Amino acid sequence: MFEDVLAFAALPLAAAIVFTGIHTWFGLQVLRRNVVFADLALAQVSALGATMAVVAGHAVQSAAGYAYTLIFTAVGALLLTASRGLARSVRQEAFIGVLYVVATAATVLVVDRSPQGAEHVKKMLVGGILSVTGDELVKFIILYSIIGVIHWLLRRPLLAAAGHADTPMDVGKIAFWDLVFYLSFGVVVTSSVATAGVLLVFCFLIVPALVGSLFSSHIGVALVIGWIAGAVASAAGIFGSFLLDAPTGAVTVVTFAAVLVVAGGIRAFITAPAAERGRNRQRGLHVGGLVLCLVLGLSGAWVIIAPAGDHPILAMIETATGIGPDRFMTARERADYLEAAAIERRHKGEIDRLYDRERQSRWQGDELTPDDIRRIGSMQQTLTEMGRGERFVMDYLRTRGRERERWYVGLPLAAIGFVAAATIARRARRAR
Amino acid sequence: MLVLVCLLGLSLIVQPAAAGSMRVVATTSDLASLAQAVTGDLAQVETIIPPAADPEAFEPRPSDLAKLKDASAVIRVGLGYDHWLDKLLSMHGDAAVNRGGAGYVDASVGIPLLEVKGSSVDPANRDGHAHGLANPHYWLDPANAGIITGAIAEAGIRVAPQATAKIIANRDGFLSRLKADLAEWEQLLVAHRAARLIAYHNTWPYFARHFRLNIVDVIEIKEGVAPSPARLAKLAATIREQKIRVIVHEPFEPEEASQLLARRTGAVVVKLAPSVGSVPAASDYLALFGYNVGTLARALSAASN
C-alpha cells in the first residue's frame, strides 16, 4: 500500500515541480506584461486546435494532431502580439478575455459534433496530472530545458519588451520579441494544459510568480522564491490529496492558494520593514477580530430569527462545547430523539445487509430469483423511506431544542459578538 | 382558392407518406434497438442520446424537442437516468406520450431492480449515479429484455391496435432469437463463473448478476469526479491481493485512472459497450451482448493462461 502511494505520488510530484520550474519564469514575465489571463487564452486556442484535430479524425498525440495544435497556438500568439498594439486606450486584458471566451465557445461548438465532446472539454479544465507517465515527464524536461535555455540567452530583450513604456525600444522590435515570447509560451502551455488542465496550469504560472514578486522586485530572486513556493505547494497538494482522499488537481489548486495566503501573511507580518510591520499586525488583528466577532454575532442573530434553518457556525460551537440542542429538549423529547436516531441507524444497517446479500448472490451460491430481488428492492425502499421519517422526527425535535436554545445560546452569542465588534471598530478608528 | 389548394398539396408532401407507420422515440439506443425489434417495419425508431456519448452527462437540445413532435410512442429508461425527458415532454404537451398516456413507456416498470436506494433524490447517495431510485443499467441483463419488450409491445398495441398480431409475432421472434443466443453467451462465460473484476463505473451489476461475475469494486465512485490517489492505491492493493486480472472500462469514460492501475498491477483494461452503438461492433441489442460476452470471455481466458 505505502509503495503504491509513493508510486502514485512520485511522478505527479516530479511533473508538478517541472511545471513550476518553467511556469514561474513565464509567470513573472506575464505579471510584468500585465497579461495574467494570456495563458488561459493561449491554452484554450491550442485546445481548439487539438479538438479540431480530433474531430478531423487524428489522435491528439499524432503528428497531425501536434501540427493542428501548433498552428492554432501560433495564430493565438500572433493575435496576442497584435492585441498589445490594439490596446492603446483600453487594457490589453480585455482583448485577451475576448480571445479566451471566443476560443472556448468555438471549442464547445466543435466538440458538440463529436460524441465524447463533453468529456474532452472537462479534461482540458481539470486535466489528469495523477496519471502522467515517465516518458511524458522526460519529454517535458527536454522541451522545457530547450525553451529555458533559449529564454536565458534572450532574457535581456525579452524582459525589455515585457517591461515598461519608458524603455527605448521601437514598436517593430517590441512586436518581434512579444511574438517570440507568446510562441514559446504557447508551446509550454499547450503541453502542460494537456496534462495538468487549465486550472492547475494557471496556478503553476501565477501563484509562485506572485509569491516571488511579493518578496523581491529582482527577477532572479523572485524566481528562486517562486520555485520554492511552487515546490512546497505541489508537494502539499499531492500528499494532501492522499490524506484527504480527494482529487489531486483540485486539492493542489487549493494548496497553491493557501501558500499564497501564508506568503502574504509572512510578507505583511514578519518580513516587512519594522514600521509597516507594526501597522500591518495591528490592522490584521483588528480586521480578523472584527470578522470573527461579526460572524459570531450574525450566527447568534440567525438562530434567533430562524431556529429551524441551517446553523453551520452554531453546529461547530455545539460540537466543540458539547452543548447541543438536545440539552434544551424535555426528557420526553430527548428520549424520542435518541430513539429516532437509533432506529435510523438500524434501518441503515439493514439496508446495507440486504445490499451485501444481493451482491454476494450475484456470483456466490444459488442465484436469487427475480421475485427475491424485487422483495429485497421493495424492503430497501421501504427502509429508506422509514429512515427518512425518523430523520424528519429528529429534525423536528432539534428545531424544538433550538427554539429554546436560541434564548440561552443565540442571544448571548449575538450580544457578545456585536458588542465586541463595535468595540474593535471603535478602537481601530481611534488607532487611525 | 388556388392558394388553399397549393397549401393542401404542400401539406400532403410534407406529411410522411406512409400513413400507417408509427414514429417511436426512445431515449437510449438500447431501448431503440428493442423497440425496433418489436415494431419491425411498422415503425420508424429514433434515439435521443447519441450512442457513443455518456448518457449520464447528456443534455438535450432543441432538435430533440423536434423529435418528440408527432411521436406515437416515447420509451424511456426511467429511474432518473433520463430525467430531462420530463421537461421535454411537458414542453411538448401531447398527452398521448406524456406520463399516463397510451404511448408512454417507462421501461423500468416491473424490472427486478438492483441497488435500490429510495424513491426520491437522495443527495447523499454513494453509488455514483446522480439521480434516482436504483441502479439504472438494467438493460444489461438480457433476461430483462422480455419485460422491456413486453412494455413496448403493449404500448404499440395501444397505439396501433390493428397491428397487434404483427407486434406479438415480432416480439416472439426476437425473444426466441435472444434465447438461442443467450444459451451460447452463457456457455462462453460459464468457465469464468465468479471471476473477479474491477469496473470503472458502476454500470455492470445486472450484467454481473446474469453471468455470475464478481465486480469487486468500482474506480469512479462519484460520477464525473476523478478518483483520488488514495483510492487508486487502495484499488491497486485490492487488485494484487485478490489477483484481479481485468479492469472493465466504458469507451466514453476518461481512461487515465484505469490505465494507471493497469500499468501498476499488470491487469488489462477491457473496453465493454454499456449501450448499443458504444462500439461499432455493438450494432444492436443482440450484437451488444455478443460483443461484450465475447470480449470479456477472451480477456478472462487470456488472463488465466
Nearest residue, CB atoms, A377 vs list B113, B215, B254: B113
**Least Cα separation, residue B197 to chain A (angstroms):** 12
Can you say how many angstroms the Cα of residue B301 is from the centroid of all Cα atoms in its chain?
A: 27
CB contacts of B253 in chain A (<8 Å) are 119
> Which of A11, A60, A131 would you mutate first to test chain B, the one with the most B CBs within 10 A?
A131
pLDDT at residue A339 in the model = 94
Nearest residue, CB atoms, B254 vs list A5, A119, A361: A119
HEC string of chain A? CHHHHHHHHHHHHHHHHHHHHHHHHHHHHHHHHCCCCHHHHHHHHHHHHHHHHHHCCCCCCCHHHHHHHHHHHHHHHHHHHHHHHHCCCCCHHHHHHHHHHHHHHHHHHHHCCCCCHHHHHHHHHHCCHHHCCHHHHHHHHHHHHHHHHHHHHCHHHHHHHHCCCCCCCCHHHHHHHHHHHHHHHHHHHHHHHHHHHHHHHHHHHHHHHHHHHHHCCCHHHHHHHHHHHHHHHHHHHHHHHHHHCCCHHHHHHHHHHHHHHHHHHHHHHHHCCHHHHHHHHHHHHHHHHHHHHHHHHHHHHHHHHCCCCCCHHHHHHHHHHCCCHHHHCCHHHHHHHHHHHHHHHHHHHHHHHHHHHHHHHCCCCCCCCHHHHHHHHHHHHHHHHHHHHHHHHHHHHHHHHHHHHHHHHHHHHHHHHHHHHHHHHHHHHHHC
Contact A245 B212 (CB under 8 A): no
Contact by Cβ (8 Å): A256, A232 = no
pLDDT at residue A166 in the model = 52
pLDDT at B183 > cutoff 80: yes
Angular region, B243: left φ>0, alpha ψ -120 to 50, beta rest: left
Residue with cell 449515479: B129
CB contacts of B232 in chain A (<8 Å) are 4, 8, 130
| Tens-digit pLDDT string for chain A (432 aa) | 667 777 778 888 999 999 999 999 999 988 888 888 888 888 888 888 888 887 887 777 678 888 888 899 899 999 988 888 776 677 888 888 899 999 988 988 887 766 666 666 677 777 778 878 888 899 999 999 999 999 999 888 888 887 654 556 677 888 888 889 999 998 898 888 878 888 888 899 999 999 999 998 888 899 999 999 999 999 999 888 888 888 888 899 999 999 999 999 998 888 888 888 888 888 889 999 999 999 999 999 999 999 888 888 888 888 888 887 888 889 999 999 999 999 999 999 999 999 999 999 998 888 899 999 999 998 998 998 899 999 999 999 988 988 888 888 889 999 999 999 999 999 888 877
CB contacts of A391 in chain B (<8 Å) are none
What would the CATH number be for the domain defined by B189-304? Answer: 3.40.50.1980
| CA angle B34–B38–B43, rounded 5-degree value | 100
Contact by Cβ (8 Å): B233, B208 = no
Q: What is the pTM for the complete model shown?
A: 0.80
Please give the grid coordinates belonging to residue A386: 422509514
Contact A367 B212 (CB under 8 A): yes
Contact B260 A8 (CB under 8 A): yes
pLDDT at residue B149 in the model = 95
The closest alpha carbon to B76, from B67, B65, B86, belongs to B86
Q: Which domains does chain A have, with CATH numbers?
A: 2-271 (1.10.3470.10), 297-431 (no CATH)
The lowest-confidence range among A264-268, B225-229, B255-259 is: B225-229
Helix (H) or strand (E) holding B301: helix B285-304
Contact A247 B227 (CB under 8 A): yes
Nearest residue, CB atoms, B118 vs list A7, A238, A384: A384
Does residue B226 belong to the interface with chain A, where contact is any CB pair within 8 Å? Answer: yes
The closest alpha carbon to B167, from B67, B14, B13, B42, belongs to B42
**3-class DSSP state for residue B222?**
coil
Per-residue model confidence as pLDDT tens digits over B137-163:
999 999 999 999 999 999 999 999 999
pLDDT at residue A48 in the model = 87
CA distances (Å), origin B149, targets B137, B144, B158, B166, B171: 16, 9, 14, 14, 7
pLDDT at B185 > cutoff 60: yes
Contact A363 B212 (CB under 8 A): yes
Higher pLDDT, B14 or B233: B233
pLDDT at B121 > cutoff 70: no
Does residue B190 belong to the interface with chain A, where contact is any CB pair within 8 Å? Answer: no
pLDDT at residue B129 in the model = 45
Contact A119 B259 (CB under 8 A): no
**Least Cα separation, residue A44 to chain B (angstroms):** 20
Can you say how many angstroms the Cα of residue B302 is from the centroid of all Cα atoms in its chain?
A: 28
pLDDT at residue B107 in the model = 93
> Which of B79, B115, B116 would you mutate first to test chain A, the one with the most A CBs within 10 A?
B116
Percent residues over pLDDT 70 in chain B: 88
Does residue B293 belong to the interface with chain A, where contact is any CB pair within 8 Å? Answer: no
Residue of A nearest to B260 (CA): A131
pLDDT at residue B11 in the model = 43
Does residue B232 belong to the interface with chain A, where contact is any CB pair within 8 Å? Answer: yes
Q: Please, where in chain B does CATH 3.40.50.1980 lie?
A: 20-180, 189-304
Contact A131 B115 (CB under 8 A): no
> Which of A:180-239 have CB within 8 Å of B?
238
CB contacts of A239 in chain B (<8 Å) are none
> Which of B:63-122 have CB within 8 Å of A?
112-119, 122
Higher pLDDT, A330 or B230: A330
pLDDT at residue B16 in the model = 40
**Least Cα separation, residue A376 to chain B (angstroms):** 8
ipTM of the complex: 0.82
What would the CATH number be for the domain defined by B20-180? Answer: 3.40.50.1980
pLDDT at B130 > cutoff 50: no
